[in-house]
Structure 1
Amino acid sequence: MMKKTVVVALGGNALLRRGEPLEADIQRENIKIAVESIAEIAQHYNVVLVHGNGPQVGLLALQGLEYTKVNPYPLDVLGSETQGMIGYMLMQEFKNRLPELDVSCLLTQMTVDPNDPAFSDPTKPIGPVYEEAEARQLAEKYNWIIKPDGQYFRRVVPSPQPTGIVESAAITKLIESGNLVICTGGGGIPVIKQNGKLTGIEAVIDKDMSAAYLARQLNADALLILTDADAVYTHWGTPQQQAIRATTPQQLSQYQFDEGSMGPKIAASCEFVKQGGQLVGIGALQDGLRILEGKAGTCITKD
């Protein structure tokens, strides 16, 4: 019997958690935990893995700003660096955990519309979290836009909608040949197509939107969004907060979700289901397989 295909979206904040030092060794330890959960899923599904890169791409940008003898590298180049860095750590850990599994990491470009309204209203948090006073100082120094992220503040950058996957055919071939494929990391490297040529653009695409786009392209059976929350909640962060266990896009449309965290996940999930996807699961990293079985997290279906 053919395995079903699941696109797994792994949050950058699951690899480097809020408030943790942005250290390589800490990221490796978190990746071990992630791989443990995803390896369990890979026993039952063909896994296509998309990872976030918010903390990592922000860190690389900060490091670049400190060395003033060269111009800072643009966000598309930094995004490609995070694909290589995180992809390498994930591939290595998967091979240590499941030596018999073929694992491939594909550097992936994602086309966007240069006229996307996101370029005039940045919402994607990147880099570390700051207390408000420090965030405002850095915003003044580096000409950043900052916005609240929970009780802290973070730099935000444009997050345009994906319009196409440049390496789509290669991803399909790798899946068909039995690979666990790591691709569209960090939402994909944002590029625009002009006069038949691809050019990078200053943005960080939301990895959940890209994962949902990829899942639709692949006709995947399910989309699984693993994050640092164990479910989707109404009234998050208040005494009235309540977990949503089983729901539909129509039911979710009556709630407001934070545009810097859960909002894009809900929007991506609803879009996947509306376009014919069977199931979206959202929840904690360690609950991955149980979410797909409807035993944990939040499950979103058409009806």
Structure 2
Amino acid sequence: MRIVVALGGNALLRRGQPLTAENQRTNIRVAAEKIALVAPGNELVVAHGNGPQVGLLALQAAAYADVAPYPLDVLGAQTEAMIGYVIEQELGNLLPVEQPFATLLTMIEVDRDDPAFLHPTKPIGPVYDRPTAERLAADKGWTVAADGDGFRRVVASPRPRRIFEIRPIRSLLEQGTIVICAGGGGIPTMYDEHRKLHGVEAVIDKDLASALLAQELEADLLVIATDVDGVYTGWGTPQQQRLGTVTPDELERLDLPAGSMGPKVEAACGFVRATGHDAVIGALADIADIIGGTAGTRVTSG
């Protein structure tokens, strides 16, 4: 079975944890242990988030005032390589030595006229208290928004349109390679009026990019791994109930809370409608059962 696994940010860093290399490796090691359970006998592609890592690199770069900080597309490329390296290493410590791995820097095209550029919504980087967030917004021209008890920088999140490296990803997959790609939603790029490709100061949603990746790879299953065991109605109330198997129409008719689950639901429904194959939203810890069909919220064409 060909499977695309989209790792949520919690697989790399828990909320409130310091952004240390040690913390990230520890979390990735736990994620790798779960992924390794389903690697044998399957074609596997792993995508992942990168928001806190990009934010930290931006802050570190800003401390060196002699040059302008690197733009988000360059920082995205850096984090794709950095995170992919650790995922490869931790998976390689668990799987047979003959199992090949590859991390691909993945450019994804966005539309320069995407309305998202007028309304930044995608959080990146660390969580700040209000005074710090307001100072950084004033000093750097950032847009900031509430995130839980704190505030984070938000940037535009245009929709993914095309994955430039889809052919080498497909080729590696067909040769039995576990591929780590489209990290952080991929490197956002666009064509200018002269048809020249360049990077964009934006972040593509990781789940939407993973759904496009799964669609273009003709994956049999898209797994959106997060820190909850599925999609719930009545979340946070005594009446909360996890959804089992639903169709896209049924899922979209539900009154679900806005927030991080929104893009996951949109990505899952889009993949199912485009391919007729299933998508599952669930906990990374349950990935073996998810693939076995006994865990998570499974979105199916019916």
TM-score calculated relative to the size of structure 2: 0.94
Separation in 2 of the partners of 1:242 and 1:61?
40
Deviating beyond 6 angstroms after TM superposition, the runs of 4 or more aligned structure 1 residues are none
Q: Does 1:265 align with 2:264?
A: yes
Question: Residue type of the partner of 1:117?
Answer: P
Aligned to 1:202: 201
Paired residues for 1:215-226 under 5 Å: 215-226=214-225
- Provide Cα deviations, 1:85-111, integer angstroms capped at 9, x if missing partner: 001111111211112211111111001
Aligned to 1:57: 54
1:177 Cα deviation (Å)? 0.9
- Provide Cα deviations, 1:121-166, integer angstroms capped at 9, x if missing partner: 1121111223344333332332221223234322111111111111
1:193 Cα deviation (Å)? 2.1
1:216 Cα deviation (Å)? 0.7
Separation in 2 of the partners of 1:249 and 1:132?
38
Q: Does 1:158 align with 2:185?
A: no
Question: Residue type of the partner of 2:227?
Answer: D
Aligned to 2:36: 39
The range that moved more, 77-86 or 186-195, is 186-195
What runs of 5+ residues in structure 1 fail to find an aligned partner? none
SS at match of 1:263: helix
The range that moved more, 285-294 or 162-171, is 285-294
Shift of the 257–149 alpha-carbon distance from structure 1 to 2, 3 Å rule, reads farther
Aligned-residue RMSD, C-alpha: 1.6
Does the aligned pair in 2 maintain the 1:12–1:56 contact within 8 Å? no
1:289 Cα deviation (Å)? 1.5
Separation in 2 of the partners of 1:131 and 1:199?
34
Aligned to 2:165: 167
Shift of the 116–259 alpha-carbon distance from structure 1 to 2, 3 Å rule, reads farther
SS at match of 2:93: helix
Does the aligned pair in 2 maintain the 1:11–1:53 contact within 8 Å? no
Separation in 2 of the partners of 1:301 and 1:158?
30
1:256 Cα deviation (Å)? 4.7
1:238 Cα deviation (Å)? 4.3
TM-score calculated relative to the size of structure 1: 0.94
Q: Does 1:127 align with 2:125?
A: yes
Aligned to 2:80: 83
- Provide Cα deviations, 1:30-53, integer angstroms capped at 9, x if missing partner: 010111111111124211111111
1:239 Cα deviation (Å)? 4.5
Paired residues for 1:21-32 under 5 Å: 21-32=18-29
Question: Residue type of the partner of 1:271?
Answer: G
Aligned pairs, how many? 300
Does the aligned pair in 2 maintain the 1:124–1:260 contact within 8 Å? no
Separation in 2 of the partners of 1:41 and 1:128?
32
Separation in 1 of the partners of 2:288 and 2:18?
29
SS at match of 2:3: strand
Separation in 2 of the partners of 1:142 and 1:255?
39
Separation in 2 of the partners of 1:187 and 1:257?
23
Separation in 2 of the partners of 1:47 and 1:291?
14
1:10 Cα deviation (Å)? 0.7
SS at match of 1:281: strand
SS at match of 1:48: strand
Does the aligned pair in 2 maintain the 1:13–1:54 contact within 8 Å? no
Q: Does 1:108 align with 2:106?
A: yes
Paired residues for 1:230-249 under 5 Å: 230-249=229-248
Shift of the 128–255 alpha-carbon distance from structure 1 to 2, 3 Å rule, reads farther
- Provide Cα deviations, 1:186-244, integer angstroms capped at 9, x if missing partner: 11101112334311011111111111001110110000011122211223344543322
Question: Residue type of the partner of 1:16?
Answer: L
Does the aligned pair in 2 maintain the 1:269–1:300 contact within 8 Å? yes
Does the aligned pair in 2 maintain the 1:233–1:242 contact within 8 Å? yes
Separation in 2 of the partners of 1:283 and 1:150?
21
The range that moved more, 34-43 or 124-133, is 124-133
Q: Does 1:94 align with 2:91?
A: yes
Does the aligned pair in 2 maintain the 1:220–1:277 contact within 8 Å? no
Paired residues for 1:61-72 under 5 Å: 61-72=58-69
Aligned to 1:143: 141
